[in-house]
Structure 1
Amino acid sequence: MSALEHYMLTRKRPHAWRYYGYLIPCVVRATPLFDTKYVIGKISAFPSYPVQSSLRFRAREILGNLAAMPPKRSLAKVSTATSKKQAATTERKLKSSKLTPSRHLFTRCLYSQRFLLARISKPTSESSKRKSAPETGKERPLKKTKVLAGAEAPRSPPHLNEVPTQVLSIFPFGNGEMGELGLGPSTTETLIPCVNPYLDASSGSSPKPRVVQVACGGMHTVVLTSDNEIITWGVNDNWALGRDTEWDGVWRDEKQDSGDEEEGELNPHESIPAVVPAASFPPGTRFVQVAAGDSCSFALTSHGLVYGWGTFRNASGDDEFGYDSQGQLIVKQKTPTCIVGLTKIVQIACGANHALALDVKGSVWGWGAHEQNQLGRRLLRRHQEHLKPRLVQVCRGRAKYIASGEYHSFAIDHKDNVWAWGLNSFGEAGYAKEAGGDSAVLPYPMMIRDLCGKGVTVLAGGAHHSAAVTMDGKCLVWGRMDGGQLGIRFTTEQLENKDLIRYDERDKPRICLCPTIITSIGDAVHVACGTDHTIFVNKDGIAYTTGFGSSGQLGLGSQRDVEVARQVKRNDLFDTAVTWAGAGGQFSILAGPVKIE
């Protein structure tokens, strides 16, 4: 008799049977072995089951006592004769006792499960019709598998994700004192967009990498090429580039004589785009997307696997990435490694120090730093569960799109409802009721009513502000506004609306509580948020920027802050129609279809 049956049959307080009559049968039918943790998890997974929360708590309390009982035995090892004997004993007890219908329901579920398992296993069944062969001391020869003529070899798993093919020209601008621009060791700043000479596939006799996808981190950039190469540049202090960038301090230019050496301002291995070694990945791996955080990078394969490298930095300033096969903490992952627990992924997104993944079923996974609840679940730091990908209970498992700000996260479900969780101190998550406090957070995913049903297709977030683009070309912004992050010229009526604008102690507008349409940019197709600046792209291929510009990250030719979005000159982009934008802390990148000369 199992521990559960023994416990339930000998219990003196029969009212507990009513609780199990509803809760346990569905679990017992689902698992051949009774496991306390598994059942508790299953109970939590059925919040809509017709049982009050107090009864579920009572079930947890009772199940917790089972841990002190003798260890359970596998039903597969119980012979049919033993099962029949136990069943007969139990039937006698049932006939002699007065059981309520709910008790009968529970007992029937238990013993139908027992007889089913015993019938399936039959390892030592005496009534088996098939007799075992006599022992002759010789091993029975194995049957040879018949191979049909012309049979095909086993095929590899089908490709889940499509590979991007549009080749892009990229234009970085801003501050590059740490190699963020990827323009070489001699260029540390540019106030207007300029072509990256190492990635310009439109000109030059020598072949150049053909970029098809770009991701901007806090101080580094990751790109994917049409040749299935991952190229990185920028700060590598925490191995966000996924390759060794050690340098002896002397820059040698290939165009100069071999004896000429000069002291370079930047590490050429960080400031010049370079390929992540292919040896870091299994042969045949094909990539479809890259994503970047402050000090971490991730790549998604066509088969739905995710590779990552670098580190997450928690609120205490400690670096941590995950665990190895022996359970040891990995502080910094120097080379790409496959993220355990993620399969059939179709999209990835990164915040400053956390990551999100969307699988083919519509489930959202999150891992990384969690102090601002950007993972959407309560966690105890001592358990270190935040470093392992776990499901986010959002959209009822029917998400179709994910995005992230630095410390908050977004998801869109199949009904075009927008969900958000994480930091909300400036209303960046879009939930006005919880905005304003320094430690205001959304601990669990909340539906953002102001964005639901509007056909949102693109979401982006900075440190304390966010933006969205809808299917009909509208662009909405919300969150912190005291640095021009939103780019809106608010009317007097809007500024006097206390339900829309919140003021600071100096009586200056500080927070826009509700998503508000920005009309000065035309019909939008894309938006990107840096730490404190925003880039808008309209359907005509024109880029607009706003916010903090002290590092030249607005691309307007100056280092001034901008409160109302301004257009980036197309002459600086060589008349390239911009289709994508990305933003880091002190730099930005614009991209558009390449023009082959």
Structure 2
Amino acid sequence: MPPKRMSKQKRGNKAAAGATVPKRPKIEHRSLPNVIGEVLTHGEGDTGQLGLGENILGRKRPAKVDLPANMVQVCAGGMHTVCLTATGEVYSFGCNDEGALGRNTSVEGSETRPGKVDVPGHVVMLSAGDSHTAALLDNGQVYAWGNFRDGNGRMGLFTAGQQENLPVPLPIDIPMVKIASGGNHLVCLSTDSNIYTCGCAEQGQLGRVAQCFSNRGGRKGLDYVLKPNIVRCLRYKTKRTASFSDIWTGQDFTYAEESISKTVYGWGLNNYCQLGLTDMNNRYVPARLLCYSDEKKWLSIEGGIHHTVSLDENGKVYTHGRGDYGRLGLGKDCQHVLVPTMVIGIRSETCTGIAAGTCVSFAVCQDGKMYAWGMGTSKQLATGEEDDECLPVVMEGKQLETRAGVSISAGGQHTVILAREKPEDSKDSKDFKRECI
């Protein structure tokens, strides 16, 4: 079952806004598709994560959030939401108990409506975990705010025991090109093709901490896991140090694509074969994943807690891992799948995006249709009901009648959609499909 909300306490923001942005030239970052849309939310909203105000505690169908119309990215954390505009501005709403919103919410109810986050620079990408958020600037600098947690409770963000209520810079002077967040860990891909990780290491999700040090760094202390450091990996056959070209995360695990061979590596939690390794043992260092064939180009790999959703270059969706509640989309009798298996219930020819929540999965198609499957209890599927769906179903609602999906993100108990108006003629329709690829 998805984790229930924690107690809600109002806290003022005490942390400083962080250092000024260093003067660096713009770099070739992993920019998002330049498709502008509007933000829709549904699911449970008892901590304000839907952005619809204090009186809206849940929605079975997508509802429009009062935000600027020039949004390019939506990102759902555990119980909060962050959105990015085409002009590089960040808006947040939801639970702020541990600073995940990056702004002052001392005014009663202010966390339930979108508010602007003062990030010192032009943001090009966001990521969000259970209680933290990160932002990548156009010069490669990364800012983050909030807190990491593990089985013992609060860890702090980059400093032991210290959560950050306002954006602070990543304590490393290396430009990054992409960021990704697990539930309680942050992964960054640098301009020199290295991977840096920080946060909770209990399940091996950092890929650089031995099991004996995975509990808060052991005798090395919390700084060992909270300070970003390089993931070391030897290339298959050559035994030379690997460089990486892409990164993805699940709740407690990480995937990475090697630059030259395009081999996929993974590390972290594997108790339900989330990594596609059939021994069900966690990995504390990168492992080559044979189930992700080198012959196939993987565009995206997204994970929930116990399952993984993948998208290949042909627009086909695959799932593996734990199958109860229908989260794999492979039928009601599917309880456990060891390796990536194609989801055949998506009728559109080509998918352009995927997402995975705690016990749910999503796919966005080239024609703007969106499919959902998995646990229905939290109303994340936009079916209007709370039944589980073991096969993909088309997401529906009044707000989707005239809009097409651009991208989607799933939190602990809510879903966020970036959608745009459907084109009215065939020429515009072709342009729309081209933009979404």
Find the partner of 2:142 among 275, 298, 306: 306
Q: CA contact under 8 A between 2:198 and 2:228: conserved in structure 1? A: yes
Residue 21 (structure 2) pairs with residue 157 (structure 1): no
Find the partner of 1:186 among 49, 55, 60: 55
Report the more deviating stretch, 353-362 or 572-581: 572-581
When the two structures are superposed, what TM-score results if normalisation uses the length of structure 2?
A: 0.83
Find the partner of 2:86 among 204, 215, 226: 226
When the two structures are superposed, what TM-score results if normalisation uses the length of structure 1?
A: 0.62
Q: CA contact under 8 A between 1:300 and 1:307: conserved in structure 2? A: yes
Q: Partners of 1:172 and 1:161 in 2: how far apart?
A: 31
Equivalent in the alignment of 2:175: 344
- Name structure 2 gaps, 5 residues minimum: 1-21, 236-240, 425-437
Q: Partners of 2:422 and 2:88 in 1: how far apart?
A: 21
Deviation at 1:569, TM superposition (A): 2.4
Equivalent in the alignment of 1:516: 341
Deviation at 1:159, TM superposition (A): 0.6
Q: Partners of 2:242 and 2:174 in 1: how far apart?
A: 15
Equivalent in the alignment of 1:199: 67
Equivalent in the alignment of 1:531: 358
Q: CA contact under 8 A between 1:570 and 1:576: conserved in structure 2? A: no
AA at the equivalent of 2:80: H
Deviation at 1:547, TM superposition (A): 0.7
> In structure 2, the residue corresponding to 1:549 is in which secondary structure?
coil
* Structure number with larger C-alpha Rg: 1
> In structure 1, the residue corresponding to 2:53 is in which secondary structure?
coil
Offset from partner CA, 1:368-391 (integer Å, 9 cap, x none) = 000000001213333220001111
Q: CA contact under 8 A between 1:342 and 1:389: conserved in structure 2? A: no
Equivalent in the alignment of 1:315: 151
AA at the equivalent of 1:529: A
More helix by percentage: 1
Find the partner of 1:441 among 282, 303, 313: 282
Deviation at 1:229, TM superposition (A): 1.6
> In structure 2, the residue corresponding to 1:386 is in which secondary structure?
helix
AA at the equivalent of 1:479: G
Distance 1:558 1:570, change over 3 A: closer
Q: CA contact under 8 A between 1:171 and 1:573: conserved in structure 2? A: no
Find the partner of 1:567 among 382, 386, 394: 394
Q: CA contact under 8 A between 1:364 and 1:397: conserved in structure 2? A: no
Deviation at 1:595, TM superposition (A): 6.7
Equivalent in the alignment of 2:324: 482
Equivalent in the alignment of 2:432: none
Offset from partner CA, 1:269-291 (integer Å, 9 cap, x none) = 1110000135xx2xxx2211111
Deviation at 1:556, TM superposition (A): 0.6
Within 5 Å, which residues of 2 pair with 1:379-418? 379=213, 380-383=217-220, 384=222, 385-394=224-233, 396-414=241-259, 415-418=261-264
Equivalent in the alignment of 2:97: 237
Offset from partner CA, 1:545-585 (integer Å, 9 cap, x none) = 11111110111101111111111127541332212110001
> In structure 2, the residue corresponding to 1:192 is in which secondary structure?
strand
Distance 1:350 1:361, change over 3 A: same
Deviation at 1:594, TM superposition (A): 5.0
Find the partner of 1:473 among 315, 320, 323: 315
Equivalent in the alignment of 1:27: none
Find the partner of 2:291 among 438, 442, 450: 450
> In structure 1, the residue corresponding to 2:99 is in which secondary structure?
coil
AA at the equivalent of 1:455: K
Offset from partner CA, 1:392-437 (integer Å, 9 cap, x none) = 12364321110100001000122221111000000111111x22xx
Equivalent in the alignment of 1:331: 162
Residue 40 (structure 2) pairs with residue 171 (structure 1): yes
Superposed CA RMSD in Å reads 2.0
> In structure 1, the residue corresponding to 2:62 is in which secondary structure?
coil
Distance 1:342 1:191, change over 3 A: farther
Equivalent in the alignment of 1:590: 417
Residue 107 (structure 2) pairs with residue 270 (structure 1): no
Q: CA contact under 8 A between 2:89 and 2:122: conserved in structure 1? A: no
Q: CA contact under 8 A between 1:185 and 1:271: conserved in structure 2? A: yes
Deviation at 1:509, TM superposition (A): 5.1
- Name structure 1 gaps, 5 residues minimum: 1-154, 202-209, 250-266, 324-328, 491-507
Q: CA contact under 8 A between 1:537 and 1:544: conserved in structure 2? A: yes
AA at the equivalent of 1:382: R
AA at the equivalent of 2:310: A
Aligned residue pair count: 383
Find the partner of 2:302 among 447, 456, 460: 460
AA at the equivalent of 1:199: L
Deviation at 1:593, TM superposition (A): 3.3
Q: Partners of 1:191 and 1:157 in 2: how far apart?
A: 45
Q: Partners of 1:586 and 1:365 in 2: how far apart?
A: 29
Q: CA contact under 8 A between 1:161 and 1:288: conserved in structure 2? A: no
AA at the equivalent of 1:448: L
Equivalent in the alignment of 2:5: none
